[in-house]
A and B are shown apart, each in its own frame.
Chain A
Amino acid sequence: MSLESFAAPDDMYRSRGTDVNPQRLLFTGDVYSGVAIAGVQDSGLAIVIEHPCTMRGTMAQLNDFVLAISVREHEPMGANGWKTRCYDLTPLPDLTGTQLYVGDFLKVGRASTSELSSKPRLACASEFGINLLQQRLVWHMTRCLIPTSTISEAFSHLFEEADLCEDWTDTLFEVGINEVEARQSFDAFLTADLGNGRTLQKDLSETQLRSAVRAQCRTAAQDIVRARREGE
Chain B
Amino acid sequence: MSEIQTFDQTRSTSTAAAPELPTKTRTISELVQDIGWSHNRTRILGDDVADLRRQSADMYRDASDILLDQKARDLVLRPAVELLAFLAGAGFAWRDIARMIGVSVPAVRKWRLGESPTSQNLFAIAKTVALVEILQHELPVTDVAAWMEIPPVVGAPTNPIDLVSNGFFTEVIGLALDHLTPEELIERHVPDWQERYQSNFEVFEASDGELGIRPKSNGDH
Q: Which residues of A contact B149 (CB under 8 A)?
A: 207-208, 210-211
Q: How far is the CA of A20 from the CA of B110 in the complex (A)?
A: 12
Interface of A is mostly: helix
| CB of B128 to closest CB in A, whole Å | 15
- Shortest CB–CB separation between residue A52 and chain B, in angstroms? 10
Interface stretch (choices B49-57, B65-73, B84-92, B178-186): B84-92
B78 at the A/B interface (Cβ < 8 Å)?
A: no
Docked CA distance A86–B42 (Å): 60
Tell yes or no: A41 within 8 A of B by CB: no
> Do A14 and B197 touch across chains, with their CB atoms under 8 A apart?
no
Q: A150-B213, A157-B211, A207-B150 are in contact. Are A214 and B199 (CB under 8 A)?
A: no
Number of residues on chain B facing chain A (CB within 8 A): 28
Q: Which of B3-11, B24-32, B101-109 contacts A (4 or more CB under 8 A)?
A: B101-109
* Residue A33, interface by CB 8 Å: no
B146 A212 Cβ-Cβ under 8 A: yes
Which of B94, B105, B109, B197 has its CB near the most chain A CB atoms (within 10 A)? B105
SS of B interface (majority) = mixed
The reply to whether B93 and A163 form a contact with Cβ atoms under 8 Å apart is: yes
Residue B157 at the chain A interface, CB threshold 8 Å = yes
Residues 160-192 of chain A, each 1 if its beta carbon lies under 8 Å from chain B, else 0: 100100010010000000000000000000000
Q: Which residues of A contact B91 (CB under 8 A)?
A: 210-212, 214-215
Query: Which residues in chain A, 196-218, are within 8 Å of chain B measured between CB atoms?
Result: 205, 207-212, 214-215, 218
Docked-complex contact B143 and A167, CB < 8 angstroms: no
Question: A153 at the A/B interface (Cβ < 8 Å)?
Answer: yes
B149 to chain A, nearest CB (A): 6
A113 on the interface (CB 8 Å rule)? no
Q: Roughly how many angstroms separate A19 CA and B115 CA in the complex, as a whole number?
A: 14
A100 part of interface (Cβ distance < 8 Å): no
Docked Cα-Cα span, A144 to B128, in Å, equals: 40
Determine which of B90, B93, B211 lies in contact with A210 in the assembled complex, contact meaning CB atoms within 8 Å.
B93
Is A141 in contact with chain B by the CB < 8 A criterion? no
A53 pairs with B210, CB closer than 8 A: yes
- What are 17 contact pairs spanning A and B, CB under 8 A? A15-B104, A15-B106, A146-B199, A146-B213, A150-B203, A151-B213, A153-B203, A154-B213, A163-B95, A205-B211, A207-B149, A210-B145, A211-B91, A212-B91, A214-B91, A214-B145, A215-B91
- Could you list which residues of chain B lie within 8 angstroms of chain A, going by C-beta atoms? 88-95, 104-106, 109, 143, 145-146, 149-150, 157, 197-199, 201-203, 210-213
Residues of A within 8 A of B (CB): 1, 10, 14-15, 19-21, 53, 126-127, 146-147, 149-155, 157, 160, 163, 167, 170, 205, 207-212, 214-215, 218
Q: A53-B210, A209-B146, A212-B91 are in contact. List 15 more A-B contacts (CB 8 A).
A: A21-B106, A21-B109, A146-B213, A149-B157, A149-B197, A150-B199, A150-B201, A151-B213, A153-B203, A155-B211, A170-B109, A207-B146, A211-B145, A212-B143, A215-B89
The 10 closest A-B pairs by CB, nearest first: A211-B91, A211-B145, A19-B106, A154-B203, A154-B211, A149-B157, A211-B146, A215-B91, A153-B203, A147-B199
